[in-house]
Chains A and B, each alone.
Chain A
Amino acid sequence: MKNPSFLASLPALLFLAAPCSAFGAAEGSTVQNAALVTYRLQLAQQRVASIEIRDGAVIASMKGMEVKRFSISKAELSSHAFPRLSTVATKTAAVRTRQVIVKVEQVSADPSETVSSPDEIVSVEDMPETFALKLKDGSVFYITGKSRDGILNGWRKDWLKCRVGCTFLFRQLRGLPVCGGIIEMDPTSARHLFWLIRPEMGVIY
């Protein structure tokens, strides 16, 4: 096991405790395909982008066309027989995301220079590579870029992973048919995905 800490391995065990087979969003039977197309159609009628979590990738779409694809390097997902449609309730970063709030007294006199400094913009590079995604139907996903960045951030990631695992476990104990998963991708993709995801965004998984 790459990460020997108990906290990190606990949620993975929780996910694996649920029976794993084919992932719900995979195309297969007529029922699966019908559900998938129906949900894609519902999301395509919206004005904003939506995402689809599939076996090998997270796909962002607008109006039924794929606009961006994030490859998944490794995934541990609890199974569900049919594709599901939900919306994003919250996204929680493992480390706090940067916000730039400028008070008028602080700004430079030259307007062209007020936005030139990297300190004064929020770009995709400022986005976290590890975050939790909670859906309104109770499902939870832990998405990570899997890069090493210090002991403190490592602990924060483990803590978030543990919270995701506990949420999943408690919802299972409540008898809710929720899904959970750990998704690994390269750090850049994870940051871009965090940037893209907004609350109320449609998700097929």
Chain B
Amino acid sequence: MKRRLRLFLTIVPPLLVFSSFIALLLTPVEPIPPLPPASRKEIARLERKLGALRPKGYYILVDTAANRLWLKRGDKALLEAKCSTGSGRQLECQGRSWTFETPRGEFRIQGKISNPIWRKPDWAFLEEGKSLPVNDNERFEKNVLGEYAMAIGDGYFIHGTLYNRMLGRNVTHGCIRLGSPDLIRLTQLAPVGTKVYIF
């Protein structure tokens, strides 16, 4: 037994080290791109182009780490609010799985809905330990999304909540929840088409 262990310790660690060295030597890396042409005129042209990409008018920023939302116009913040974003947990059931994360990137407000009604997706039933409804009418639930919901695409919304004590925490299924006063103000100020930047 001792001999076997000694043999194992003599062979395996050097082999591991050697193979990791080989892997390091063989891992392909991307070449470094050549430097772009440089002149003051060119820099000024690029800076103008960069400036043109910055959002015009109102835009919304969402920090999913800090659970904060800002409505801004230029550099000026018109609204700063605590929000709740995706919990990051994964739900598994009968071979299906869902990850509850708030998507990141650039979105825009596609529409606003007053007194929204929630059409419960499959995971909402499974999460409650219920079976999926046969009748589609059983999926609709009133008064859970607050006064307004703003669609940002891919089925995600900025909406209200019944659970104000959860604001500032990662607890949602991917949507962005806001407290009632902030939601009302955001709905009033941000027109349809407002860009939403989530990071």
B125 to chain A, nearest CB (A): 10
Determine whether B87 belongs to the interface, using a CB cutoff of 8 Å to chain A: yes
Contacts of A65 in B (CB 8 A): 54-55
Task: For A49, give its contact among B30, B39, B94, B199 (CB under 8 Å).
Answer: B199
B68 to chain A, nearest CB (A): 11
Q: Is A31 a contact of B129 with CB atoms below 8 Å?
A: no
Q: Is B105 a contact of A47 with CB atoms below 8 Å?
A: yes
What is the bound-complex CA distance between A195 and B67, given in angstroms? 12
- Interface window among A33-41, A71-79, A148-156: A33-41
Interface size class of A (residues with CB under 8 A): 35 or more
Determine whether B189 belongs to the interface, using a CB cutoff of 8 Å to chain A: no
Q: Is B66 a contact of A124 with CB atoms below 8 Å?
A: yes
Q: Is A37 a contact of B127 with CB atoms below 8 Å?
A: no
Determine whether B191 belongs to the interface, using a CB cutoff of 8 Å to chain A: no
Task: For A101, give its contact among B38, B47, B92, B170 (CB under 8 Å).
Answer: B92
Contacts of A101 in B (CB 8 A): 89-90, 92
Determine whether A91 belongs to the interface, using a CB cutoff of 8 Å to chain B: no
Determine whether A167 belongs to the interface, using a CB cutoff of 8 Å to chain B: yes
Contacts of B51 in A (CB 8 A): 64
Give a binary string over B47-68; 1 marks a CB under 8 Å from any A CB, 0 the rest.
Answer: 1011101110000010111100
Determine whether A177 belongs to the interface, using a CB cutoff of 8 Å to chain B: yes
Q: Is A34 a contact of B50 with CB atoms below 8 Å?
A: no
What is the bound-complex CA distance between A136 and B40, given in angstroms? 30
B interface residues, tally (CB under 8 Å): 55
Beta-carbon contacts under 8 Å, B1-60 to A:
21, 24-25, 27, 29-33, 35-40, 42-43, 46-47, 49-51, 53-55
Q: Is A107 a contact of B127 with CB atoms below 8 Å?
A: yes
B194 to chain A, nearest CB (A): 14
Task: For A178, give its contact among B29, B53, B66, B199 (CB under 8 Å).
Answer: B29
What is the bound-complex CA distance between A83 and B65, given in angstroms? 28
Q: Is A34 a contact of B129 with CB atoms below 8 Å?
A: no
Contacts of A103 in B (CB 8 A): 92-93
Q: Is A192 a contact of B128 with CB atoms below 8 Å?
A: no
What is the bound-complex CA distance between A43 and B47, given in angstroms? 13
Contacts A67-B199, A111-B128 hold; do A34 and B39 have CB atoms under 8 A apart?
Answer: yes
Determine whether A20 belongs to the interface, using a CB cutoff of 8 Å to chain B: no
Determine whether A69 belongs to the interface, using a CB cutoff of 8 Å to chain B: no
Contacts A41-B50, A44-B50, A102-B90 hold; do A34 and B25 have CB atoms under 8 A apart?
Answer: no
Task: For A121, give its contact among B54, B88, B197 (CB under 8 Å).
Answer: B88
Task: For B90, give its contact among A99, A123, A174, A196 (CB under 8 Å).
Answer: A99
Give a binary string over A16-54; 1 marks a CB under 8 Å from any B CB, 0 the rest.
Answer: 000000000000001101110110110011011100000
Residue of B whose beta carbon sits closest to that of A104: B93
Determine whether A146 belongs to the interface, using a CB cutoff of 8 Å to chain B: no
Contacts A41-B50, A64-B54 hold; do A115 and B129 have CB atoms under 8 A apart?
Answer: no
What is the bound-complex CA distance between A41 and B42, given in angstroms? 13
Contacts of A114 in B (CB 8 A): 127-128
Give a binary string over B99-136; 1 marks a CB under 8 Å from any A CB, 0 the rest.
Answer: 00000111000000000000000001011110000000
B115 to chain A, nearest CB (A): 20
Residue of B whose beta carbon sits closest to that of A112: B163
**Can you sample 23 A-B contacts with CB below 8 Å?**
A31-B38, A33-B38, A34-B46, A62-B197, A64-B51, A64-B54, A65-B54, A65-B55, A84-B32, A100-B89, A102-B92, A103-B92, A103-B93, A115-B166, A115-B171, A120-B87, A121-B89, A123-B170, A124-B170, A136-B29, A137-B29, A170-B24, A192-B65
List 4 tightest A-B contacts by C-beta distance, closest first: A122-B88, A138-B29, A34-B38, A100-B89
